[in-house]
């Protein structure tokens, strides 16, 4: 068995007990079983504990900045406030940090990376931002279309799973469904309203322009990753009662004509995407088939009835905890290793 790109690297995960942290442990076990070491941390107030991931017992230590040795690759699955303070301090102490929060995504000095699209943006950075889950799932398809036909404008409507609110959101959906079926009151703590048997057209706080912050994340982050700062892009983000894997309905207007057949060929040849587009056999992207998998499913490719020959409509589904978070972060580290820039000594 050949060595993984991360063979021999010492890795730390901050926020290991959360949904993204647990997924990071699982992804690393699959893709990099030959790490030098893996140390997991959670809030200091929780003390030492263990968690089970993939049948393995994982020790979790209370976080202390001094516990992170120089030369460690650090994955942060923590709040933006915590990352704002700790990430720069860890980098200064000699670590390389990949942060999953929104703390640094809009900082022009910090690369925001989806490796299939803009791995070269990493350069010599030692702090790298992981994008919002919805953005990470979306931009490989947009990048493929832009390279071939030029993007003119993009309209996105999302169908986002409870996993977007972490382990607490997933548990609230499970409990809510059981309580609703039992005729009991349904909780609404992780979400603005009960999610069981409901959809909620609000994710994150509303902004002055009437869009939510989640919707604007898709706009801001897609523009930065694609290198298209003026791309007209609009998003409506909706929470739906599925456990994991986000769906996105996308309409694009292109600079030149593109047939659905050409679009399918482009998507089928794009790393990170798998074409699932056989409507005659009732095969199309769904959370049931995309959950727990690395590739983003894409299908329902058709000519736009609004933009005609220069427009396409399509639907994609990606696992929010995999490509939308943990997998993308690990792929960033693998891209660093592949370029020979994963040098963890000051």
**Alpha carbon separation from 23 to 73, 110, 216, 259, 326 (Å, rounded):** 17, 24, 26, 37, 6
Is 193 labeled as catalytic in the residue annotation?
Answer: no
**Taking the model in full, what pTM does it have?**
0.94
- Is residue 200 a contact partner of residue 192, using CB atoms and an 8 Å limit? yes
Identify whether 133 is a catalytic site residue.
yes
Per DSSP bridges, beta strands 296-304 and 308-318 are antiparallel
Q: State which residues of the chain have pLDDT below 70.
A: 1, 46-47, 340-346
Is there a binding annotation on residue 42?
no
CATH 3.30.360.10 positions along the chain are: 135-320
Q: d(Cα 341, Cα 145) in Å, to the nearest integer?
A: 29
**Residue of 40, 133, 149, 258 with catalytic role:** 133
pLDDT digits (tens, 9 = 90+) for 206-257: 999 999 999 999 999 999 999 999 999 999 999 999 999 999 999 999 999 9
Considering the chain, tell me which residue range(s) the CATH 3.40.50.720 domain(s) occupy: 10-131+325-338
CATH superfamily of the 10-131+325-338 domain: NAD(P)-binding Rossmann-like Domain (3.40.50.720)
Q: How far apart are alpha carbons 317 and 298 in whole angstroms? A: 7
Q: SS3 string of 183-243?
A: CCCCCCCCCCCCCCCCCECCCCCECCCCCEHHHHHHHHHHHHHHCCCCCCEEEEEEECCCC
Q: Which of 69, 125, 136 is nearest to 97 (CA)?
A: 125
| 105 annotated to a ligand binding site | yes
Q: Taking Cα atoms as reference points, which of 23, 258, 10 lies closest to residue 130? A: 23
Q: What are the residues facing 99 on neighbouring strands?
A: 76, 129
80-90 tens-digit pLDDT: 999 999 999 99
| Residue-level pLDDT at 237 | 98
Q: Report pLDDT for 1.
A: 61
The third-level CATH classification (topology) of the domain covering 135-320 is Dihydrodipicolinate Reductase; domain 2 (3.30.360)
The candidate with the shortest Cα–Cα distance to 248, out of 236, 256, 266, 260, is: 236
Residue 163, marked binder: yes
Vertex 80, ends 79 and 86: CA angle to 5°? 90
55 is in an annotated binding site: no
| pLDDT of amino acid 317 | 98
54 has binding-site annotation: no
Q: Is there a binding annotation on residue 227?
A: no
Residue 187 labelled as part of a binding site: yes
Catalytic residue among 40, 146, 149, 246: 246
């Amino acid at each position: 068995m050949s060595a993984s790109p991360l063979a021999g690297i010492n890795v730390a995960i901050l926020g290991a007990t959360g949904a993204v942290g647990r997924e990071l442990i699982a992804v690393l076990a699959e893709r990099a079983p030959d790490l030098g070491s893996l140390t997991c941390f959670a809030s200091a107030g929780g003390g030492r504990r263990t968690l089970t991931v993939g049948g393995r017992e994982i020790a979790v230590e209370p976080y202390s900045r001094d516990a992170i040795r120089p030369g460690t690759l650090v994955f942060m699955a923590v709040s933006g406030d915590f990352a704002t303070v700790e990430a720069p301090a860890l980098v200064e102490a000699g670590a390389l940090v990949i942060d999953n929060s929104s703390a640094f995504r809009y900082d022009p000095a910090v690369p925001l990376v989806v490796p299939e699209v803009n791995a070269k943006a990493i350069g010599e950075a030692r702090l790298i931002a992981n994008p919002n889950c919805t953005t990470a799932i979306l931009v490989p398809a947009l990048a493929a279309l832009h390279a071939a036909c030029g993007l003119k404008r993009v309209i996105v409507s999302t169908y986002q799973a409870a996993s977007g609110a972490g382990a607490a959101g997933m548990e609230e959906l499970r409990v809510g469904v059981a309580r609703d079926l039992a005729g009991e009151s349904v909780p609404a703590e992780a979400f603005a309203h009960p999610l069981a048997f409901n959809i909620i057209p609000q994710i994150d706080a509303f902004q002055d322009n009437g869009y939510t912050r989640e919707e604007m994340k898709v706009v801001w982050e897609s523009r930065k990753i694609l290198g298209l700062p003026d791309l007209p892009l609009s998003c409506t983000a909706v929470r739906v009662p599925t456990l994991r894997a986000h769906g996105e309905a996308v309409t694009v207007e292109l600079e030149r004509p593109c047939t659905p057949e050409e679009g399918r060929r482009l998507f089928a040849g794009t790393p990170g995407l798998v074409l699932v587009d056989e409507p005659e056999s009732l095969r199309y992207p769904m959370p049931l088939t995309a959950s727990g998998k690395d590739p983003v499913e894409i299908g329902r490719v058709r000519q736009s009835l609004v933009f005609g020959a220069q427009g396409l409509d399509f639907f994609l589904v990606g696992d929010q905890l995999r490509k939308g978070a943990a997998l993308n972060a690990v792929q960033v580290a693998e891209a660093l290793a592949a370029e020979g820039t994963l040098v963890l000594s000051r």
